[in-house]
């Protein structure tokens, strides 16, 4: 226990403290922007980012991952806020938390194993594109100073680490923010700053219960939103955890992360914040800035609150160009550039899944829809591929006594037609042996195909023997097959 706490919290104190500061600075404009998307006051997003980060630091299953208010979640709230107001959003946030805790106890995170690598890659690339697109409003219809500041910021981010001695001691995104803020204050340039995004809160969040009637009508209003927020929140969190696992070569407890997200959302709802989830952009910033432990996530939330409440005069002076440069770095770092090179090497089906996932996420701005389409496509391609690995060979039995069919491969809904077409029912032989020792029957469709084959042979006066069924296949065939039940056969053939 002691060793685990030390490893998770205090094994990387310097890196976690510095990365916490960078992440806190990057969270501020994001939280304000997402609040504006959702149609709520900026402090709703800022309070959410503080409480999510602090609670998930203790309750989450992935050290070093940042959770806060996110754009994917904000997009789902727009209609609820517009039609019913903030209090119903807070109630939906609480219900989302309850659903996520249930998902953790039901071990739904284990379903992530059905998400193929192509879908994860597509998800990551789509997020990188969305992060970059989110910066475009700050780079359109602006003076040349903004482009110069952004270019200078990117220069600092990528060149500062090359400086001997100090280059590796400070996170370059933090240096970028400090230097560009200093230039902005010194020159008095007329460009947008964090203060122009919205008014920063000047008080700490307070505990409050959503001011909504506790009845079935309220539940009917918030239930569909809570379900959508739960699905998108957990999907983004699980995907982000997988990506951070890869970046750090460490594992994580995905089901604990589900419960942690739920606890964090309940805490957020009670502190007047909007629902949130893991943030891939900020998590990548954290890892790239040297953050590894729970301390980085905890301090990101604490620094965020201290900055917006007590240092708001200074934070409001940070030029948006500095934060745009940091987010462009994130989008470049997030995008899987190797996936472009792999397009030539990978199978066409994998490439289609990856590109389709990217296209759907970018088009809909909804991560859940993109992942669902990707998983569905991957499943269809897999079923089609496995369905083609079915081979039926036939040869004569000794002394012309009949015919033997040897079935090799997987028999299920996608290959059952191929299985049925492999038999010659007009072949007038007294006996047929169907050798299934190298076949596997997976579902009811496969059993029905076997039924029809046996029944059609018997209808022609041929004796049929099935041999070699493995135990699993025999179980499903014994349970659902009807070819040995005369009444069922008569009924089946009467229906044709």
- Enumerate the domain spans of the chain: 7-379, 390-494
Query: Between 447 and 124, whose confidence is greater?
Result: 447
Residue 488 confidence (pLDDT): 61
Q: Tell me the two tokens of residue 157.
A: 């981010």
Q: Is 198 left (phi over 0), alpha (psi -120 to 50) or beta?
A: left
Report yes or no on whether pTM surpasses 0.85: no
Number of Cβ within a 10 Å radius of residue 412 = 20
User: What CATH number has the domain spanning 390-494?
Assistant: 3.30.750.24
pLDDT tops 70 at residue 487: no
Instruction: Compute the half-sphere exposure of residue 331: CA atoms within 13 Å on the CB side of its CA.
Output: 18
**pLDDT over 80 (residue 181):** yes
The CA R_g of the chain, rounded to the nearest whole Å, is: 29
Strands (E), 323-396: 390-396
Buried b / exposed e across 357-385, counting CB within 10 Å, b at 16+? bbebbeeebbbbebbbbbbebbeebeeee
Distance between CA 89 and CA 77 in Å, rounded? Answer: 7
- 418 phi/psi in degrees, rounded to 5: -60, -40
Q: Are 48 and 31 in contact (CB under 8 A)?
A: yes
pLDDT digits 0-9 by tens, 410-469: 888 888 888 888 888 877 778 888 888 899 998 899 898 888 888 888 887 888 888 888
Alpha-carbon span 219 to 224, nearest angstrom: 9
- Quote the mean pLDDT of the chain: 84
- Residue 275: how many other CB atoms lie within 10 Å: 33
Burial of 165 per CB tally in 10 Å (0-12, 13-18, 19+) = exposed
Give the strands of the sheet with 390-396, arranged side by side.
390-396, 403-411, 431-441, 463-467
CB of 22 closer than 8 Å to CB of 174: yes
Distance between CA atoms of 29 and 45, rounded to whole angstroms? 10
Q: Which residues contact 2 (CB under 8 A, 6 or more apart)?
A: none
CA angle centred on 89, ends 88 and 93, rounded to 5°: 115
Predicted confidence band at 492 (pLDDT cuts at 50, 70, 90)?
Answer: low
Q: What is the SS3 assignment for 53? A: helix
Q: Which sign, positive or negative, has the C-alpha torsion 470, 471, 472, 475?
A: positive
Q: SS3 of 214, please?
A: coil
Between 100 and 109, the higher pLDDT residue = 100
User: Whole-angstrom Cα distance, residue 328 to residue 151?
Assistant: 10
Token pair of 175 as six digits: 């240096």
**Alpha-carbon span 220 to 223, nearest angstrom:** 6
At 296-323, the pLDDT tens digits run 899 999 988 888 888 777 777 888 888 8
Residue ranges of E strands in 196-339: 277-278
d(CA 135, CA 329): 11
Per the CB < 8 A criterion, the answer to whether 406 and 393 are in contact is yes
Per-residue confidence (pLDDT) for residue 496, from 0 to 100: 47
pLDDT tens readout for residues 138-149:
888 888 888 999
Report the phi/psi class of residue 347: left, alpha or beta, with left for phi > 0 and alpha for psi in -120 to 50.
beta
């Amino acid at each position: 226990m002691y060793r685990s706490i030390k490893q998770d919290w205090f094994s990387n104190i310097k890196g976690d403290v510095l990365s916490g500061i960078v992440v806190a600075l990057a969270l501020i404009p994001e939280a304000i922007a997402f609040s504006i998307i959702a149609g709520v006051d900026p402090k709703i997003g800022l309070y959410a980012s503080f409480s999510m980060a602090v609670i998930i630091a203790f309750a989450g299953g992935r050290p070093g991952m940042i959770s806060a208010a996110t754009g994917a979640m904000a997009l789902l709230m727009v209609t609820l806020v517009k039609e019913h107001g903030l209090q119903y959003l807070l109630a939906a946030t609480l219900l989302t938390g309850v659903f996520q805790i249930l998902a953790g106890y039901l071990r739904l995170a284990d379903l992530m194993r059905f998400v193929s690598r192509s879908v994860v890659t597509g998800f990551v690339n789509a997020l990188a594109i969305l992060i970059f697109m989110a910066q475009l409003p700050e780079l359109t219809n602006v003076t040349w100073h903004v482009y110069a500041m952004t270019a200078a910021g990117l220069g600092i981010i990528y060149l500062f680490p090359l400086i001997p001695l100090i280059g590796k001691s400070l996170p370059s995104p933090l240096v970028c923010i400090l230097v560009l803020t200093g230039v902005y204050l010194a020159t008095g340039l007329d460009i947008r700053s964090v203060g122009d995004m919205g008014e920063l809160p000047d008080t700490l969040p307070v505990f409050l219960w959503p001011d909504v009637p506790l009845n079935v009508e309220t539940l009917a209003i918030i239930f569909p939103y809570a379900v959508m927020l739960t699905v998108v929140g957990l999907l983004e969190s699980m995907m982000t955890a997988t990506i951070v696992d890869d970046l750090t070569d460490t594992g994580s407890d995905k089901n604990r992360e589900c419960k942690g997200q739920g606890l964090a959302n309940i805490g957020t709802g009670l502190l007047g914040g909007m629902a949130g989830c893991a943030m891939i952009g900020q998590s990548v910033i954290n890892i790239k800035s040297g953050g590894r432990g729970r301390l980085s996530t905890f301090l990101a939330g604490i620094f965020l609150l201290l900055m917006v409440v007590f240092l708001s005069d200074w934070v409001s002076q940070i030029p948006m160009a500095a934060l745009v440069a940091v987010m462009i770095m994130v989008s470049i770092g997030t995008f899987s550039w190797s996936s472009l090179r792999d397009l030539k090497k990978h199978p066409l089906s994998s490439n289609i899944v990856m590109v389709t996932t990217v296209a759907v996420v970018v088009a809909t701005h909804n991560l859940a829809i993109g992942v669902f389409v990707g998983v569905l496509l991957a499943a269809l391609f897999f079923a089609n591929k496995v369905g083609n690995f079915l081979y039926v060979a036939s040869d004569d039995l000794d002394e012309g006594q009949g015919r033997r069919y040897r079935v090799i491969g997987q028999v299920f809904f996608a290959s059952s037609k191929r299985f049925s077409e492999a038999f010659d029912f007009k072949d007038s032989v007294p006996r047929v042996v169907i050798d299934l020792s190298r076949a596997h029957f997976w579902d009811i469709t496969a059993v029905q195909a076997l039924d029809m084959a046996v029944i059609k042979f018997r209808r022609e006066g041929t004796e049929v023997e099935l041999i070699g069924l493995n135990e699993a296949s025999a179980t499903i065939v014994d349970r659902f097959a009807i070819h040995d039940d005369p009444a069922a056969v008569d009924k089946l053939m009467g229906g044709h």
